[in-house]
Amino acid sequence: MKKFVSQFKKEKNLFFYLFVSIVLIPIFTYEASNADAHYRTHLSIPYFFSLFFCFYLLKGTSRKIAIWGYWFFTLVPNIVIISFFVMSGTIMLSTGFRVIFATDVKEVNDFLSQFLSVKLLSASIVYLSLSLWFAIKASSQLEKALTSKFKLLIAVCVFLAISLFYPFRHMITTIDFYKSFYNYCKELKEFATFYESRKNIKYGVTSELNDSIQKTFVIVIGESANRNHYSLSGYLRCTNPKLQEIENKQELLVYNNVISPFTYTTAVFKEVLTFANYENPTLYTKDASIVELIKNAGYKTYWISMQADNVPSFYRNIAMLSDVYIGPTSEKWDENAIPLLRDVTKDDVDNKVIFIHLRGSHFAYSNKSPTEYKIFDFKKDTIISLVKDKLNEKEKKTIDEYDNSIRYTDFIFNSILKEIKESNTSSCLLFFSDHGEEVYDFRNINGHFMSNVYPYQCKIPFILWRSGKYEEEMPELLIDTSRPYSIENVIYSLFTLNALRYEEDDQTKSIFSFQY
Ligand SMILES: [Zn+2]
């Protein structure tokens, strides 16, 4: 026992260094909202002891290299996990890591301006100081002895075996971080050849609409719009004055039971633009996308992106398969889509399908509406939140900014509609958001996270407008605005709207179909 105590005293710096790097954060996040948070903490303990054994076998320089190597290995993932936990109350999962890898500098700035707080900064600094302190102490305890090759081999084998073993690979978040990065890089490699391999494929798809009538179909995809913040859906702040005017003229179909399948853009687009859905999640690479099918049916396709699509992604690949791809734009406001749309509607082509991807209401919200749309002010009017008494001024202001962005999108919708009406063609406009957003609606949380999802993050606006000419030409839609629907199947609804015929079609999955 005495020998053990003296041995432990000798190795206490190593012990505490590994404890801080491996177990401290799981303890800190023990009460996270993830279903498996407790399991993750418990699993970190055998992982910690296994790594302690590996490091214990190493002597002299090998140990020093191992300590600093592991410090760098865990630095970024651990800071990310702490920050995300402080912000969302959850442990980041691989889906979240992938969003980070696909984030550019501008988005990082947006993120920091929305979520950077004293609490977040303090937690990261505490972790950084502790791990650095123990790493210095543990590595300065240098012995002259060399590690035998045999012990080095055992240490490396145990480290690899335990790190690659399924439960640890999946549940030890630092390993999951690098595993997700590896998968992300693999996907990027596939994206590099995507366009060339797909651009000339022919699909047997036809449109049953009358060829002699000019058509303009517009699909507007919003961003992070929570339906509960739409006055059209009963929100008490007037966030949809223009849409309300159109609805009053009974020109608008406002669906009230539509959700998104995920809470982040890239995952939603995989299902929105293809046949992939909950039952068949991998179909997005195996079958045609809606852009390709519409193109093959004889329409000219356009994609106007207001989002800075600088990072390769699956949906940017699909967008670029359009006949005309406009984007990314460096312009700040969604209204910059309007002159682009005007030019497109004047294009001398009979049949057009135009996709518009807005910046919408993604954080930072204050950057999503110009000065004239800074309308709501919690000091003068009432904010709508079940936890409003628990919110500080910054959080209340966040609700104002979010509502301003929704009201600005209302103006954008109306402006797009004006351009379509001007074209005087058989036309329709379908608007929906990629996912929703939680804005302190019922708990002290703001954002959209798969790890801590709540209906506010998935309840989305889904709105259809049709021109008179379209209704004459295409009378057989079934309109029931209370139909429950997930946009994972929206491709089938677009088939109905465009009267497309394709062997993979399944009208039981279309919100506008009689067969639904
Ligand atoms: Zn999104």
Confidence of residue 9 (pLDDT cuts 50, 70, 90): confident
The alpha carbon of 233 and the centre of ligand 1 are apart by a number of angstroms equal to: 21
Q: Is the pLDDT of residue 328 over 80?
A: no
Q: Is the pLDDT of residue 453 over 80?
A: no
Q: Is the pLDDT of residue 4 over 70?
A: no
Q: How many CB atoms lie within 10 A of CB 197?
A: 9
Q: Measure the CA–CA gap between 375 and 409, rounded to whole angstroms.
A: 13
The alpha carbon of 362 and the centre of ligand 1 are apart by a number of angstroms equal to: 7
Closest among 95, 65, 77 to 174, alpha carbons compared: 77
Closest among 381, 302, 372, 369 to 335, alpha carbons compared: 369
The alpha carbon of 257 and the centre of ligand 1 are apart by a number of angstroms equal to: 19
State residue 244's pLDDT score. 96
Closest among 418, 413, 380 to 396, alpha carbons compared: 380
State residue 329's pLDDT score. 65
Per-residue model confidence as pLDDT tens digits over 52-89: 999 988 888 888 999 999 999 999 999 999 998 988 88
Q: Measure the CA–CA gap between 368 and 448, rounded to whole angstroms.
A: 17
The alpha carbon of 98 and the centre of ligand 1 are apart by a number of angstroms equal to: 13
Q: Where are the alpha helices (DSSP H) in 89-171?
A: 94-101, 105-115, 118-140, 149-164, 166-171
**Residues making up the chain, counted from first to last:** 516
Helix 149-164 and helix 37-57: axis angle, to 10°?
A: 170
Domain ranges across the chain = 2-188, 209-509
Q: Measure the CA–CA gap between 425 and 348, rounded to whole angstroms.
A: 12
The alpha carbon of 160 and the centre of ligand 1 are apart by a number of angstroms equal to: 36
Percentage of the chain beyond pLDDT 70 is: 97
The alpha carbon of 269 and the centre of ligand 1 are apart by a number of angstroms equal to: 9
The alpha carbon of 435 and the centre of ligand 1 are apart by a number of angstroms equal to: 6
Q: Measure the CA–CA gap between 168 and 265, rounded to whole angstroms.
A: 28
Q: Is the pLDDT of residue 181 over 80?
A: yes
Percentage of the chain beyond pLDDT 90 is: 54
The alpha carbon of 260 and the centre of ligand 1 are apart by a number of angstroms equal to: 10
The alpha carbon of 281 and the centre of ligand 1 are apart by a number of angstroms equal to: 18
Higher-pLDDT residue of 206 and 452 is 206
The alpha carbon of 325 and the centre of ligand 1 are apart by a number of angstroms equal to: 20
State residue 476's pLDDT score. 79
Residue 428 phi/psi, 5-degree rounding, is -145, 155
Per-residue model confidence as pLDDT tens digits over 270-281: 999 999 888 888
Q: What is the mean pLDDT of residues 241-252?
A: 94
Q: Measure the CA–CA gap between 453 and 437, rounded to whole angstroms.
A: 10
**Ligand 1 is a single-atom ion; what residues have CB below 5 A from it?**
223, 265, 434
> 22 near 126, Cβ under 8 Å?
no
Q: What is the mean pLDDT of residues 229-238?
A: 94
The alpha carbon of 268 and the centre of ligand 1 are apart by a number of angstroms equal to: 8
Per-residue model confidence as pLDDT tens digits over 268-309: 999 999 998 888 888 887 788 999 999 999 999 999 999 876
The alpha carbon of 225 and the centre of ligand 1 are apart by a number of angstroms equal to: 9
Helix (H, G, I), strand (E, B) or coil at 40: helix
State residue 142's pLDDT score. 64
Q: What is the mean pLDDT of residues 446-466?
A: 85
Q: What is the mean pLDDT of the chain?
A: 89
Q: Is the pLDDT of residue 32 over 70?
A: yes
Q: Where are the alpha helices (DSSP H) in 383-465?
A: 393-423
The alpha carbon of 419 and the centre of ligand 1 are apart by a number of angstroms equal to: 25
Closest among 437, 412, 434 to 490, alpha carbons compared: 434
Task: Examine residue 328 and say whether the peptide bond preceding it is cis (omega within 30 degrees of 0).
Answer: yes
> Domain 209-509, what fold?
Alkaline Phosphatase, subunit A (3.40.720)
Confidence of residue 330 (pLDDT cuts 50, 70, 90): low
Distance, CA of 328 to chain centre: 18
Q: Is the pLDDT of residue 323 over 80?
A: yes
Instruction: Compute the CA torsion angle 145, 150, 155, 157 (nearest 10 deg).
Output: 160
Q: What is the mean pLDDT of residues 382-393?
A: 86
SS3 annotation, 148-205: CHHHHHHHHHHHHHHHHCHHHHHHCHHHHHHHHHHHHHHHHHHHHHHHHHHCCCCCCC
The alpha carbon of 184 and the centre of ligand 1 are apart by a number of angstroms equal to: 18
**How many alpha carbons fall within 13 Å on the CB side of residue 231?**
17
Q: What is the mean pLDDT of residues 478-494?
A: 94
Q: What is the mean pLDDT of residues 311-328?
A: 86
The alpha carbon of 44 and the centre of ligand 1 are apart by a number of angstroms equal to: 33
The alpha carbon of 454 and the centre of ligand 1 are apart by a number of angstroms equal to: 15
State residue 451's pLDDT score. 64
Q: Measure the CA–CA gap between 144 and 329, rounded to whole angstroms.
A: 60
> 44 near 26, Cβ under 8 Å?
yes
Q: Measure the CA–CA gap between 146 and 361, rounded to whole angstroms.
A: 59
State residue 229's pLDDT score. 96
Pairing of strands 351-357, 300-305: parallel
The alpha carbon of 363 and the centre of ligand 1 are apart by a number of angstroms equal to: 10
The alpha carbon of 512 and the centre of ligand 1 are apart by a number of angstroms equal to: 25
The alpha carbon of 199 and the centre of ligand 1 are apart by a number of angstroms equal to: 26
For residue 465, give both structure tokens. Answer: 């407008």
> 13 near 138, Cβ under 8 Å?
yes
Q: Is the pLDDT of residue 435 over 80?
A: yes
State residue 443's pLDDT score. 85
The alpha carbon of 262 and the centre of ligand 1 are apart by a number of angstroms equal to: 9
> 220 near 417, Cβ under 8 Å?
no
pTM score, two decimals?
0.83
Task: Examine residue 364 and say whether the peptide bond preceding it is cis (omega within 30 degrees of 0).
Answer: yes
The alpha carbon of 223 and the centre of ligand 1 are apart by a number of angstroms equal to: 5
State residue 218's pLDDT score. 97
Per-residue model confidence as pLDDT tens digits over 336-358: 999 999 999 999 898 999 999 99
Q: What is the mean pLDDT of residues 439-450?
A: 82
Per-residue model confidence as pLDDT tens digits over 90-118: 898 887 888 788 777 777 777 777 778 88
The alpha carbon of 480 and the centre of ligand 1 are apart by a number of angstroms equal to: 27
The alpha carbon of 86 and the centre of ligand 1 are apart by a number of angstroms equal to: 21
State residue 143's pLDDT score. 67
Q: Where are the alpha helices (DSSP H) in 428-498?
A: 468-473, 490-497
The alpha carbon of 334 and the centre of ligand 1 are apart by a number of angstroms equal to: 15
Number of helices followed by number of strands (H, E) in the chain: 20, 13
The alpha carbon of 220 and the centre of ligand 1 are apart by a number of angstroms equal to: 13
The alpha carbon of 254 and the centre of ligand 1 are apart by a number of angstroms equal to: 21
Q: Is the pLDDT of residue 509 over 90?
A: yes
State residue 406's pLDDT score. 97
| Cβ neighbourhood burial of 242 (10 Å; 0-12, 13-18, 19+) | middle
State residue 190's pLDDT score. 82
